[in-house]
Amino acid sequence: MQVCVLYAGKTREGGKLPALAKAVAKGIESQGHQVDVINMYEEGVRLTIYDYVVIGSEPVSFFSAQIPSQIAKFLAQAGTVSGKRCFAFISGGLRKGRALQNLMKAMEHEGMYLRLSDIISKEDAAVAIGKRLNVERN
């Protein structure tokens, strides 16, 4: 299956999010799926070809529950995302739970079918979660 792991941090570089996204991708690849890791600050990426989508983010500041506005912009321009099965994760910040709710709300606003969500802070946990994700069609 075609899987896309997207991430958008406070800045274009994403802090430790690229490492976490690659760790989730590594776990999914161990199941035999093809995985692309994409920074959501890139332009012109279409999600139509992917069967499963993973989106990771972090709050815009340590004390905030807001997620980067780039996520909503990216999803609005990413092609057909309505009905896509997906997984959401958040890393960092004091109000991680609320930030995760905001990320999930942004994804569901675009019609994505949210399968799971989690708070991830370490790469080894990200690999384990990637291995456990059921990206097969049910």
Here the CATH number for the domain that contains residue 85 is 3.40.50.360
- Cite the DSSP H helix spans in the chain: 17-29, 70-76, 96-109, 123-132
**Structural domain count of the chain:** 1
The answer as to whether 87 is a domain residue is yes
The answer as to whether 137 is a domain residue is no
The answer as to whether 110 is a domain residue is yes
Largest alpha-carbon pair distance within the chain?
38
Q: What CA–CA distances, in Å, run from 32 to 16, 35, 128, 135?
A: 25, 9, 15, 11
- How far apart (Å, rounded) are the C-alpha atoms in residues 138 and 127? 22
Residue 66 structural domain: 2-132
Q: Write out residues in the chain with pLDDT < 50, as ranges.
A: 138
The answer as to whether 73 is a domain residue is yes
The answer as to whether 38 is a domain residue is yes
The answer as to whether 40 is a domain residue is yes
* pLDDT at residue 137, rounded to an integer: 66
The per-residue pLDDT for range 88-100, each reduced to its tens digit, is 999 987 888 899 9
The answer as to whether 75 is a domain residue is yes
